[in-house]
Each structure stands twice: as structure tokens, then as C-alpha cells.
């Protein structure tokens, strides 16, 4: 008998002795009375720990979530400019075609500016056209003017100025010759060797007259020579001025020809381009003040009335095509991280569980699937396309199961059979023939709610003791 059981029996015996010692004397002296039987203690129940057999089979890791039937094409629309709503051309539940005008802000001032700019553009284009038409005629006239200027310059250089200079030079030479002659006559008249003639009455008067005439003639010749030289200088300067003037006329004519050869005034083209850019800016502002249906569909939500003030890029209505539906759901980042485009999906409709559907992941939000496709980049939902000709109802709930991994012919145990300590996983293996138990570290593979893949540490058929 073990020590704990002995301690229990000793306590029970002591209690009985105390009970007997306290009994009345009449009872103890009664010969026919029998001793009381002690109450037996229950045997403690040792709990039996569950056991699990290592099995070989298929482990499938899935992701399950609830989605809702939503249009493939669904977009929240907004104005790209602030302003006051002028007109709303649709109401909720209306069907519209692609390109239809849905609503418009007050654009009266923009329309006036656009009309003014278009008139300015028309005026500038007419001015440019007139300049282009006049360009040919102006170039021809400028070419003729250049030829005339060059001809005049050549004429002046080769004929006119040369004649003028020759005439001036001849006049100067004549004056020099006349002065030389007058000097010679003066020298003859005033030759001292002739002074004796003054003493001859017959010759004195004649010599005096000759000397007076020679002096006067020499003075005149000197004056004429000075005047001839001045005239020659003036003629030379005048010829040079004339040639310079004619040269400037040629240069001016050449510049005019070059200007017309370049084409019309570039400023006219620049003005037209600036006006066109202004028109484009106004047209963009007008387009930003209009809501146009990007595709055909139905207005499923509308929060807009004439006179409302709206803020740019704030959604005011939702356009959808309810004829094409898919399953959408908002999932957390941990689920999105294990998903990829084109993953196969099993779909069960909440109202039609007997109808098993198949599909695939069509679109994931950015950055898990790029965020491109039929929806905008701000879309945060998972989109699952349903295969086959299935009639869905908008808003209908569905359970979607996506197979993330599937492995065949692998060892597995239920999650309850696996223990962990300080980040390590192990199992307790029951040895054969009741030889006790042993602990074995294990490596895990994919895991589900019911099966965990064991890649190392156990063998098929081993018995594992749970906690």
C-alpha cells in the first residue's frame, strides 16, 4: 500500500477511535451491540489523455471569406472642380448610356471666356492668313527694291561719281595751271633785270602796267586755286556721302528681303498658339465641371441636387452595370498577402447552398495585385469572377473558399496533437509494447483547422499522445 493511502487510513482510524471514546457507556457495555462500519473513500480517477495516429494523406490550406454580389463595372463619380451645381439630368435608378451628360456645374463665366478666346483666335488666324498672302508680294517688291539699290550703287561707283570726280579734278588742274602761268608772268614782270626799263620813259609806263596786271593776275590765280581745291574737296566728300547713302539703301533692301524670306512674323504664330493653349485650359475646366458616364449602366446612388456646392474629387453618385456581377469582399492585409490573381475559388451562395459554383480571383487591390483593371486604383476590395452562366442578384451573399496550397501523400496530425515550447514544436510518441513515451521535435508544413503537415520528426502509423 502506498504512503498516501496509508495516511488516509490512519486518519480514518483515528477518527473512529475518537468516535468510540466519546460514545455513552451504556452503548459500549451493551453485549448485543455491533461496531459501526467506516465509509469507504472513492478511488481517484486518472484522466485518459487522447491519442492520435500519424496519418498519410492530403493537406489542403484554404482561405474562406464572405463576399457580396457586386457589379463588375461600378464607379463612384465626382467633379474635378469646385463649384455650384447648375443642373442634374438623372435620378436614382435611371439607366444611362456611355458618354451621357449626368450633371453640370455653373459654367456660364467659363463659356463667356471660351467665346472671347475663340473670337480672338479667329482674329489672329485672319491676321496670319493676310500676312501669308501678302508675304509673296512683299518679297517680290523687296527683291526689286534691292536690285534697284544695287544698280544705283554700281552706277554711282562706276559712272556718276567718276565723272563728277574727273570734272572736279580737271577744274583743280586748270586752276593749278592758271596759277603756274600767272606766277610765270609775275616772275617775268617783276624780274629785277628789267628795272632799267623804269628809267626809259618809253618803257616805264608799260612795265608798271605789266607788273600791276601780273600781280593782280597772280592774286586771282591764287584765289581761284584755293577755290578749286575747296570745290574738289567738297566734291570728294559729296561723292563719298552719296556712295555711303546708296550702300545703306542696299543693306536696308537686303534686310527687308531676308525678313520676308524667313516667312511671316513669328509673333503672329506665337500669339495663335498662346490663344489655343488658353482655349484648351478653359475647355479642361468646363470638362472638369461636367459629369459624363464613363460606361453604360444604372445610377445606384445619387447625392446631388441643383444649387448644391460641391468639392472637387468628392463622390456625388455611383454608376454601375448590374447586368454583370461578381463577388467582392474587403479583406485584411494578412489574407491579401497570401492571395494572387487567377487563384481558383469555390463559391457557395448563401441563399442557394445546393448550387456549387466555381470562379477565380480577378482583381486584388494595390499593391497586392497592382490595382489595375476595370475599377479605380482606390478600390480596396477583392474581386472574384464567377464562371459559367449564373444569374446572381446584386447584394447576394456568398461564401468563397480559395485553395492556397494542396499537398498529397504527406504526413499529418490534428492541431491538438502538436505541442510547443519557446517557439519549438514537438510531439509525445507512445512507444510500442508499453515501453513508455518519448518526445520528438517536429517540423511543420502547411496548416489548416483540422490538419497540420509534419515534414520531419514522425513516421506514419506512430501513436501520438495529446495533452
Q: What is the pLDDT of residue 434?
A: 72
Distance between CA 183 and CA 190 in Å, rounded? Answer: 10
What SS3 string covers the chain?
CCHHHHHHHHHHHHHHHHHHHCCCHHHHHCCCCCCCCCCCCCCCCCCCCCEEECEEEEEEEEEEEEEEEEECCEEEEECCCCEEEEEECCCCCCEECCCCEEEEECCHHHHHHHHHHHHHHHHHHHHHHHHHHHHHHHHHHHHHHHHHHHHHHHHHHHHHHHHHHHHHHHHHHHHHHHHHHHHHHHHHHCCHHHHHHHHCHHHHHHHHHHHHHHHHHHHHHHHHHHHHHHHHHHHHHHHHHHHHHHHHHHHHHHHHHHHHHCCCCHHHHHHHHHHHHHHHHHHHHHHHCEEECCCCEEEEEECCCCCCEECCCCEEEEEECCCCEEEEECCCHHHHHCCCCCCEEEEEECCCCCCEEEEEEEECCCCCCCCCCCCCCCCCCEEEEECCCCCCCCCCEEEEEEEEEEEEEEEEECHHHCEEECCEEEEEEECHHHCCEEEEECEEEEECCCCEEEEECCCCCCEEECC
Distance between CA 431 and CA 273 in Å, rounded? Answer: 92
What's the grid cell of residue 137?
A: 508680294
Distance between CA 396 and CA 393 in Å, rounded? Answer: 5
Domains along the chain?
1-46 (no CATH), 51-58+407-465 (2.40.420.20), 60-105+296-406 (2.40.30.170), 110-270 (1.10.287.620)
- Between the two ends of the chain, the Cα-to-Cα distance in Å is 29
Low-confidence ranges of the chain (pLDDT < 70): 1-40, 42-47, 370-377
Q: Please answer whether residues 358 and 346 qualify as being in contact, where contact means their C-beta atoms are separated by less than 8 angstroms.
A: yes
What's the grid cell of residue 150?
A: 544695287
CB contact burial 250-268 (16+ within 10 A = b; e otherwise): beebeebbeebeeebeeeb
Q: Which of 235, 225, 277, 401 is nearest to 327 (CA)?
A: 401
Q: What is the pLDDT of residue 394?
A: 87
Q: What is the pLDDT of residue 292?
A: 96
Q: Can you give the pTM of this predicted structure?
A: 0.53
Interaxial angle between packed helices 161-189 and 201-261, expressed in degrees from 0 to 180 and rounded to the nearest 10: 160
Q: What is the pLDDT of residue 26?
A: 39
Beta bridge mates, 103: 88, 291
Q: What is the pLDDT of residue 85?
A: 96
Q: What is the pLDDT of residue 137?
A: 84
Amino acid at each position: 500500500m502506498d504512503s498516501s493511502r496509508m495516511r488516509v487510513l490512519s486518519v480514518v482510524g483515528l477518527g473512529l477511535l475518537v468516535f468510540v471514546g466519546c460514545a455513552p457507556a451504556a452503548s459500549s457495555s451493551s453485549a448485543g451491540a455491533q461496531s459501526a462500519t467506516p465509509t469507504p473513500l472513492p478511488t481517484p480517477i486518472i484522466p485518459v489523455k487522447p491519442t492520435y495516429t500519424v496519418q498519410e494523406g492530403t493537406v489542403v490550406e484554404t482561405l474562406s471569406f464572405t463576399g457580396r454580389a457586386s457589379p463588375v463595372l461600378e464607379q463612384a463619380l465626382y467633379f474635378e472642380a469646385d463649384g455650384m451645381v447648375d443642373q442634374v439630368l438623372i435620378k436614382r435608378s435611371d439607366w444611362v448610356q456611355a458618354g451621357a451628360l449626368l450633371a453640370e456645374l455653373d459654367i456660364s463665366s467659363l463659356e463667356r471666356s471660351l467665346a472671347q478666346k475663340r473670337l480672338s483666335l479667329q482674329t489672329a488666324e485672319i491676321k496670319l492668313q493676310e500676312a501669308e498672302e501678302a508675304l509673296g508680294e512683299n518679297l517680290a517688291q523687296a527683291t526689286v527694291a534691292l536690285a534697284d539699290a544695287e544698280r544705283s550703287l554700281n552706277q554711282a561707283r562706276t559712272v556718276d561719281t567718276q565723272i563728277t570726280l574727273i570734272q572736279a579734278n580737271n577744274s583743280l588742274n586748270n586752276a593749278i595751271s592758271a596759277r603756274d602761268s600767272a606766277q610765270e608772268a609775275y616772275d617775268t614782270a617783276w624780274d629785277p633785270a628789267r628795272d632799267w626799263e623804269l628809267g626809259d620813259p618809253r618803257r616805264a609806263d608799260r612795265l608798271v602796267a605789266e607788273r600791276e596786271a601780273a600781280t593782280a593776275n597772280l592774286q586771282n590765280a591764287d584765289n581761284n586755286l584755293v577755290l578749286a581745291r575747296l570745290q574738289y574737296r567738297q566734291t570728294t566728300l559729296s561723292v563719298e556721302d552719296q556712295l555711303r547713302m546708296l550702300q545703306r539703301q542696299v543693306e536696308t533692301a537686303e534686310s527687308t528681303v531676308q525678313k520676308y524670306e524667313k516667312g511671316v512674323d513669328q509673333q503672329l504664330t506665337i500669339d495663335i498658339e498662346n490663344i489655343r493653349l488658353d482655349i484648351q485650359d478653359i475647355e479642361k475646366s468646363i470638362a472638369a465641371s461636367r459629369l459624363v458616364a464613363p460606361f453604360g449602366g444604372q445610377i445606384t446612388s445619387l447625392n446631388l441636387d441643383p444649387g448644391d456646392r460641391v468639392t472637387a474629387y468628392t463622390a456625388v453618385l455611383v454608376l454601375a452595370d448590374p447586368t454583370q456581377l461578381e463577388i467582392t469582399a474587403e479583406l485584411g492585409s494578412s489574407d491579401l498577402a497570401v492571395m494572387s490573381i487567377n487563384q481558383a475559388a469555390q463559391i457557395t451562395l448563401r441563399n442557394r447552398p445546393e448550387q456549387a459554383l466555381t470562379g477565380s480571383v480577378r482583381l486584388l487591390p494595390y499593391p497586392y495585385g497592382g490595382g489595375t483593371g476595370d475599377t479605380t486604383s482606390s478600390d480596396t476590395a477583392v474581386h472574384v469572377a464567377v464562371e459559367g452562366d449564373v444569374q446572381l442578384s446584386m447584394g447576394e451573399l456568398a461564401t468563397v473558399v480559395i485553395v492556397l496550397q494542396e499537398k498529397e501523400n504527406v504526413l499529418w496530425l490534428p492541431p491538438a496533437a502538436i505541442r510547443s515550447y519557446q517557439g519549438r514544436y514537438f510531439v509525445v510518441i507512445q512507444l510500442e509494447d508499453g515501453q513508455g513515451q518519448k518526445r520528438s521535435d517536429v517540423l511543420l508544413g502547411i496548416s489548416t483547422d483540422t490538419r497540420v503537415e509534419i515534414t520531419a520528426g514522425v513516421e506514419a502509423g506512430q501513436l501520438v499522445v495529446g495533452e
